[in-house]
Chains A and B, each alone.
Chain A
Amino acid sequence: MARFLDLPIRQKLVVVGWMTSLSALIVSCVVFVISAYFIGRANALIGSDILASIIAENLTTSVLFDDRATAGETIRSLRATPTVNLVCVYNANGILIAQLAKTAEHGCPVSPPPDQRAAAARTLTVVRPIVATDKRAGTLYLESNVVRLTEQLRLQGMAAAVGGLAGLLIATLVAARMHSRIAQPIISLSATAAGISRGGSYAVRATKSSNDEVGRLVDAFNDMLSGIEKRDEELRAANQMKDEFLAALSHEMRTPMNAIFGWLQILRTSPKGADVADEAIARIERNARVQARLVEDLLDISRIISGKMDLKLVPTDLTQAALASVEALRPSAEAKHIDLRAEVPDTPCMVSADPVRLQQVVGNILSNAVKFTAEKGTILLRVESRANEFRLSVTDSGIGISKEFLPRVFDRFRQADGSITRQYGGLGLGMAIAHDLVKLHGGTLEAESGGPGMGATFTMTLPALLQREGISPASVASGTVSLNGLRVLVVDDDDDARRVAAEALTGAGARVVSASNGEDAMKELASQEFDAFVFDVQMPAIDGFALLKLARQLEWEKGRFTPAVAVTAHAYAADQSQARAAGFQRVVVKPYEFSALKSAIADSIRS
C-alpha cells in the first residue's frame, strides 16, 4: 500500500481503473457462469423432456401394437444425439420392449421407474408415460448427460473472459486520455510550485483548467502566491526602512560623539583654568545627554514593541508636567528665537500617569515642534479641562505635515522622507514613543496640519482622574539627598564606573570603600561593617547576585542586614525584577544621574 501511495498520480489512476474494472469483470464473469450453469441445466432438462415427449408420441402405436422392431427403430434415431445416454421403452405391463444404451455404465431398469423429471450432478433423467388418446400405453425412460452443458459453459466462460479482457484493454486506452485530463492540472501545478521553490519569481501564477477541486486548489495556490508576493514586497520595504534607520542611527550617534571628542581635545590642550574649560564641560555634558537620550529612546521603543513597558501610575498633575517640559525646552527654543508660550488652567489637572513618562511625552511633542519650527516661529502649548478628560495641544508654525504623511506620522523609524532626516536629524522615534506611551496611559495623541508650510497641531487627550481632593502631586525632581556619614561598599569590575559611583557618593557625604571583584569585596566585608551595598550585576567570576548571596550569609552569622542597590546596564524590567528577587532593595540602570543613585541608596536604607 505504501508503494501504491508513492506512485505518480497518473499511474495511481491507471491502477485504480484497472482494479475496479477487473473486480467488476471477475464478479460479472462468475455470476454469468453460475447463472449460465443453472439456466443451462434447466434448459437441458426442458430439452430432454421435449425430446422424451416427441419420442413417446412416436412410440404410441409401437407400444399399442407391441411392435418392438418399430419401437427399436424409433429410439435408434437418438443414436446420433450426443447428450442421450440411455433410452428404455416399457409397455403398459411394465415390460421392457426396446432399449438404446450408449454408455455401458448401466442398462435399463427391469421395471419402469416412477414418472419424473430429475437433474442429478451429471445426468438428467426423464420418465414419462406413452399415451394413446387419453390412456397410458407404456413408459419412456430417457437419461441424458450434461457433458455438452459443461463444454458449453467452458466455452461461454472463456468467451466472457476474452471479451472482458478486450473490454479492459479498450477501457484502459480510453481511460489513458481521461487520466491525463485529471492528472495534467495537478502535474502542472506541482511543476509551477517546484519552479517557484527553486527560486523562481512569486509573480508566476498557475493556470486553471477546470472548476473542480484541482481548480480550487489552483485558485488557493494563486491566492497564496499573491499573499507571499505582497509579504515579500513588505519585507523588502521593511528591510530598506531598517537600513535607512541604521544609517540614521549611526549618524545620530556620531554627531554628539564627534562633539564630545572634539571638546575633550580642546580641554586637554588648553591650559588649566582656562575660560574655555567651562564651555567645553557644558558642551560635553549636553552631547552625552543627547546620546543617553538616544539610547533611552531605543530602549523605550524596544520595551513598547515587546510589551515590557512598565508604567508606575500615580496621580499626576498634567499642568505641572507640561510646564516642566516647557521650561526644559525653553533654552533650545530660545536658541532659534522661537516664541514658546504656555496657556494652562489655574487648577491642577490630575491624571493617572507615570510622571517621568508623562514629562517624556510632552517633552517629545515640544522638541518635535521646536525641531520643525523655523527661526522666529511660534509654539503654543495649551492645557484645557474637558468633561472627563484633559487636553494638551501643541500648535506650531512649522513646516507642517503633508496629507500623505499625516496618517503615518506616528509610525516608528519614519520621517516624511530621507531629506527631512538629513535636514533636521533625529531617528523619527520621538513621536512614535509619545504616541505609544499616551496609548498605554489610556489616552489619545492626534496630529493635524493644514499641509506643508501651514504648521501642525498635536493634541493629547488623557482621561481625568476623578478624586481631586487630598492628593498631593508627586514630585518629579527630587531634592538633594544627604548620605552624610553612611558607610557604602561599592563593587564594580569596571574602573570608570567604580570611580564615578565612589565620586558621586563621596560628594553626598558618604564614606565609600571600593572593590573591583567579589573576592576583594568579601575581604572588606569580613573586616568591617557597612550601611549600604552598591553592586554591579555583571562581573566576571562572582557576579552581583552571587556576591550578595555570600554577603547575606556572612551577615546572617553576625545577625546583621545591610540594604543593597544593584547597578545594571540591562534596562529591561525583567532584569530588574530578577535583581529584586535576588535580594536587592533597589535597582539603578546605567547610565544614571548621580541623584538617581543617591536617592536609591537613601530609599533602600529607609525601607
Chain B
Amino acid sequence: LDEVTARRARWLAVATAASAGFAPIGYEPLRLVTVPVAVAVILVVAGAITAVAARTRRSGLVLAVGAVLLVLGLYRLLTYGHGSAGIGGAASTAALLAALGIGHVGIVLARR
C-alpha cells in the first residue's frame, strides 16, 4: 500500500470498528443500522485487521477483509426474510456490510 491508500485504509478501519457502536442503541430513531452482537464482533475484528494491514502496508489483507464483508452483506441480503442466516440483523445490516466491503475493495483496486 502506498501512503495515500494506507491513510484511507486507516480511516476505513476506524469507520468499520465504529459501526459496531450501533449495536447497543435501543432507541429506534437513532438505530440507523441494525447491528446484532455477532455482526458487531465481525466489524471490530475487521476494523482491527484493516488497521494492521494499513500499518504493515499489506494491500492483500485489506482486499480480503473487503471481500469477506461484501460477501457477508450480499449473503444477508439474499437471506433477508428467511431467518437470521446465522449472523442475525436485517437488510440495513446487509447494506452496512456491503458498503464497508466495497470501500475496502475500492481503495485497493483504485491504486492498481
A binds B: no
